[in-house]
Structure 1
Amino acid sequence: MTEGDELVYDSRMSDSDALMWTIEKDAMLRSTITAVAVLDRAPDHDRLRTLLDRGTRIVPRLRQRVRANPLSIAPPRWEVDPSFDLDYHVRFARATGDGTLRDVLDMVQPIAMAGFDRARPLWEATLVEGMEDGRAALVMKVHHAITDGVGSVKLALIMFELERDPDGHADLPPPPEAEVMSQVVRWVDALAHEQRRALGIARRSGATVGGATARTAGQVVTDPAATASRAAETVASVARLAAPATAPLSPLMTGRSLSVRFDHLSVPLEAAKTAARAAGATLNDAFVAATAGGLTRYHLEMGVPADELRMSMPINVRTAETEDHAGNQFVPARFAIPLGEADPVRRMQTLHQLILEQRGEPALGFVEPMAAVLRRLPTSVSTSLFGSMLKGVDLVTSNVPGAPIPIYTAGGRVEHLIAYGPLTGAALNLTLLSYLDELHIGVNVDPAAVTEPERLVAALRDAWDEVLAVGAPRRSPGRPRRAAPRR
């Protein structure tokens, strides 16, 4: 598939992406996305390498490395690696143990923990063969600076095909050419970028003065109280967004480390949608409600109840104009979610309203200017400030729409597609990715925070059973109820 060539690739990082890149001076704040595609059979090695080679020619970002500018005048540039080596990025391995998914996830965890070689393009692919029943797993590791969850699905399409054995393959397109820039040219390029940015700000400000400001002045005269209220609301919203939160709200999940533990949940897609509709909520509300229910159970079973947890949730800000841009197009909302609500319907409804409020926060439009300020600070300072905003987060949730049709890679049919988002200082990250008629939820936890991960997964399963029961058809009295199969 070649959908990747429809994306627009900027030659320079945005300020928010540059900040994400900079704060990795603190290894706990690494932003690595890991995806595991379980295949019904091992793909052909040569076809897989050709597929990935073609992808790096179609998607220039996969052959580009990050190069900083002199004195960090402007955000870093994306530049083609003149020494690009496909064999460095594509690896092959054998499953350990009995070749179960659990065995594979145990192999993937240290891969996900390792930092990227910053002198090379920021991705790796590992094919794990020898799984039970002749299956295999293709593991893709990508740095979050390349793209967000929605964009990563588009990028991932280069690895997949619509048929097991498509007829014929076109010749490989030429690789992108490496650009050689001297230090002088880098200085000029960085200064020109900052000049264009200043002119753009001036134009937008001028348009405001010519139109919106006059309108606002009239509003101040006619309704000064409302104008002052809106300004105060915006200031308060920015303060909430930037407020330090160095301590988690959970009295239980307080430990932090550089390690991860991967688990997986599978939920029927249509049943989840039906349950959400029955509560007047969305699929994402059902996801967050099941997460909150599972964490309530886990805290109670561990003997340390909690009233609320601080959650971070990426809010997609893609527009019609930016839909096809490859970079990150999200803003991270941080807010407290209540625990302890036993009724799954009320829980979904409460969270639905809470999430709506977060999507309407005025501060969401100020994330990029705030990132521009933080990026210009000394690295140690920006890392410390941004880290103070992240390390008090208890959990991260992310909902990414996936492929509704069967996909293949080099002859192997994808059975399950699981994504694991980065912790970036949180105790756990739950990433929901739909594929065909199932929701696959990647559960990434810090074992220093979640000391009994299997108990947590069981609690999340039970909470999902509660949510799905909301949409289940009512049964006549006396009719035996069949237990839902555990996945």
Structure 2
Amino acid sequence: MPERLRPNDVTFLGEETAHAPLHNATLEIFDALDEAGEQRFGYEALVSLIADRIDFVPRYRQRIRQVPGRLAMPVWVDEDDFDLGYHVRRSALPRPGSMEQLWELVARIMSRRLDPQRPLWELYVVEGLEGDRVALLSKSHQALVDGISTVDLLQVLLDTDPDPRDVPCQHWEPEREPSSSALLVEALRDSVRRPRVVLDGVRVNAEAVGRTARGALAMLGELSGAARRPHPETPLAAELSAQRRVLTVKTDFAAHRAVKEFHHASINDVVLATVTGALRAWLMTRGEAVNAGRSLRAMVPMSVIDDEAEPTSLGSQVAGHLLDLPVGEASPVVRLHQVSYAFRAHKDTGRAVSADKIAGVSGFAPTTFHALGSRVAVEHRRRNYDLVVTHVPGPQFPLYAAGARMVETYPVPPLLPGRALAIGVTSYDGLVSYGITADRDAIWDIEVLGQCITEALEELVDSASETRQRAPRGRARPGAKEKS
């Protein structure tokens, strides 16, 4: 019989609404021309590449089938008439397309839900980007990528060499979809073999139906004007609209590394200190109070080794970690040390996974790790936090798709109900790339936040340079360790 969905996956499907679609996305930008200046990468090349590699992620050709009466968990079944052309879509910007135009297109795509009657993913090939570049936007549902049975499609598309690796082609034939009676019989068998599992399935299905109904009623209330907007304590707490804003910020890995080495921190500490400084400056532009002691609580998914958790194909699990970002602290150095200290206990447990190990996972693993981070955030959605920040280290060397070099990559995280902002960060090939998703109505000044990220990093770099310049000659700078 087909594999059943896990309880969390059913929960994700039930939690989803038109105002809070639960899909992850990654935006990647490629050089489209070869050395001779000829177009070498575009829609046709990508379709051919996916056709060659999709066997590595068979769930990308499966859809969800409900069991009659919802007597058991739904199952994954092969799509009889799988249409790759439906899932891989061609788009273009008016040449030369700017990044601002790309952000607007991505925001509109991110605002739309995936079709639950088909395999839960889409990939857009966006041509016409300035500099003879092509962008790929990969969008997949949180129920699809679990890191156990399925990794993200982009993880298997990229190569370390311009010459694509040879992959044995297999002729795929969909497995016959079970009949309704067969699904019922199997559900009854499960009720005898695993009664607790079946009861859990009925409970989760019932909860999912209830959430869907409540979500529909809430939407009707909003449309009729009966729903009242909450009075949030911060601009990050807001009732979500159905539309999004997206922004990307490209920064240098070398700048983060310089701050890391000077202050004996980690790249993750520097990223979170940069986000903290950016949020502080952004709040100030809005006239928000950032008094000493004020903080914003972030859900920061972290890679861990946990023998009691369900194993993944990535060699580690992802767990939620709550972090208070000290936006009330004026000093960038103190902010960095506060963030670093907050993570020290996590590092001292011995469960933390090093950045080098994550970056060394086969394929381009950041796309999958970001998806797992989003799953963790949804699982902890009822906890008290203001935003989600995911940071995943990638390889510091170039990767290629169908011979084209990937020059930039940005996560595009989803928004959770009541939280108008999410930030994802990926380090790759000399860059640290910030991807910001925001509610269109609640955060109309997303470009200001993006500029604040750049300035917050510059502030950290400058503080390290100033401290180094102030250190007396012949004496070690503060915090430096003697070399043995």
TM-score w.r.t. structure 1 length?
0.72
Matching of residue 116 in structure 1 with residue 114 in structure 2:
yes
Q: Shift of residue 412 of structure 1? A: 1.9
Distance 2:175 2:422 in 1: 37
Q: Pick closer, same or farther for the CA change 1:335–1:186 going to 2, 3 Å.
A: farther
Helix, strand or coil at the partner of 1:110: helix
Which residue of the partner structure matches residue 53 of structure 2?
Answer: 55
Which residue, 465, 478, 484 being the options, matches 2:458? 465
| Alignment-mate amino acid for residue 333 of structure 2 | V
Structural RMSD (CA):
3.6
Matching of residue 402 in structure 1 with residue 389 in structure 2:
no
The unaligned stretches of length 5 or more in structure 2 are 33-38, 199-229, 350-377, 471-484
- Decide whether the 8 Å contact of 2:235 with 2:442 is kept in 1: no
- Decide whether the 8 Å contact of 2:20 with 2:242 is kept in 1: no
Q: Shift of residue 111 of structure 1? A: 1.1
Matching of residue 180 in structure 1 with residue 177 in structure 2:
yes
Q: Shift of residue 77 of structure 1? A: 1.9
Distance 1:173 1:413 in 2: 27
Helix, strand or coil at the partner of 1:400: strand
Which residue of the partner structure matches residue 417 of structure 1?
Answer: 409
Helix, strand or coil at the partner of 1:37: strand
Residues 437-476 of structure 1 aligned to structure 2 (within 5 Å): 437-472=430-465, 476=469
Q: What are the superposed Cα offsets for residues 359-416 of structure 1, whole Å, 9 maximum, x if unpaired? A: 999xxxxxxxxxxxxxxxxxxxxxxxx8994597432101122233211122321110
The unaligned stretches of length 5 or more in structure 1 are 1-9, 202-245, 362-385, 478-487
Which residue, 62, 65, 75 being the options, matches 1:64? 62
- Decide whether the 8 Å contact of 1:402 with 1:433 is kept in 2: yes
- Decide whether the 8 Å contact of 2:42 with 2:127 is kept in 1: no
Distance 1:20 1:360 in 2: 33
Greater Cα offset, 386-395 or 158-167 = 386-395
Which residue of the partner structure matches residue 4 of structure 1?
Answer: none
Matching of residue 258 in structure 1 with residue 242 in structure 2:
yes
Which residue of the partner structure matches residue 88 of structure 1?
Answer: 86
Matching of residue 348 in structure 1 with residue 336 in structure 2:
yes
Q: Shift of residue 115 of structure 1? A: 0.6
Distance 1:55 1:30 in 2: 27
Q: Which has the higher helix share?
A: 1
Q: Shift of residue 468 of structure 1? A: 3.1
Distance 1:341 1:117 in 2: 45
Greater Cα offset, 468-477 or 340-349 = 468-477
Q: Pick closer, same or farther for the CA change 1:404–1:72 going to 2, 3 Å.
A: farther
Q: Shift of residue 422 of structure 1? A: 0.5
Helix, strand or coil at the partner of 1:342: coil
Which residue of the partner structure matches residue 106 of structure 1?
Answer: 104
Q: Pick closer, same or farther for the CA change 1:16–1:387 going to 2, 3 Å.
A: closer
- Decide whether the 8 Å contact of 1:125 with 1:139 is kept in 2: yes
Q: Shift of residue 318 of structure 1? A: 5.7
- Decide whether the 8 Å contact of 1:51 with 1:158 is kept in 2: no
Helix, strand or coil at the partner of 2:125: strand
Helix, strand or coil at the partner of 1:116: coil
- Decide whether the 8 Å contact of 2:388 with 2:421 is kept in 1: yes
Which residue of the partner structure matches residue 310 of structure 1?
Answer: 297
Q: What are the superposed Cα offsets for residues 417-460 of structure 1, whole Å, 9 maximum, x if unpaired? A: 11111112221111011211211110111122212111111112
Q: Shift of residue 18 of structure 1? A: 2.0
Distance 1:27 1:66 in 2: 19
Q: Shift of residue 170 of structure 1? A: 4.6
Which residue, 429, 439, 450 being the options, matches 1:436? 429
Q: What are the superposed Cα offsets for residues 126-174 of structure 1, whole Å, 9 maximum, x if unpaired? A: 111112221111121111222268998763132223333447x455212
Distance 2:382 2:425 in 1: 21
| Alignment-mate amino acid for residue 96 of structure 1 | P
Which residue of the partner structure matches residue 22 of structure 2?
Answer: 31
| Alignment-mate amino acid for residue 351 of structure 1 | V
Which residue of the partner structure matches residue 290 of structure 1?
Answer: 274
Which residue of the partner structure matches residue 162 of structure 2?
Answer: 164
Aligned residues: 399
Matching of residue 299 in structure 1 with residue 283 in structure 2:
yes
- Decide whether the 8 Å contact of 2:252 with 2:430 is kept in 1: yes
Which residue of the partner structure matches residue 370 of structure 1?
Answer: none
- Decide whether the 8 Å contact of 1:419 with 1:431 is kept in 2: yes
% identical aligned pairs: 27
Which residue of the partner structure matches residue 215 of structure 1?
Answer: none
Distance 2:296 2:170 in 1: 49
Q: Pick closer, same or farther for the CA change 1:401–1:179 going to 2, 3 Å.
A: farther
Distance 1:442 1:152 in 2: 23
Greater Cα offset, 73-82 or 152-161 = 152-161
Greater Cα offset, 83-92 or 36-45 = 36-45
Q: Which has the higher contact order (CA 8 A, sep 6+)?
A: 1
Q: Pick closer, same or farther for the CA change 1:388–1:47 going to 2, 3 Å.
A: closer
| Alignment-mate amino acid for residue 184 of structure 2 | W
| Alignment-mate amino acid for residue 78 of structure 1 | W
Helix, strand or coil at the partner of 1:276: helix
Q: Pick closer, same or farther for the CA change 1:420–1:388 going to 2, 3 Å.
A: closer
Residues 136-155 of structure 1 aligned to structure 2 (within 5 Å): 136-147=134-145, 155=153
- Decide whether the 8 Å contact of 2:20 with 2:240 is kept in 1: no
Q: Shift of residue 325 of structure 1? A: 3.6
TM-score w.r.t. structure 2 length?
0.72
Distance 1:50 1:252 in 2: 42
- Decide whether the 8 Å contact of 2:59 with 2:150 is kept in 1: no
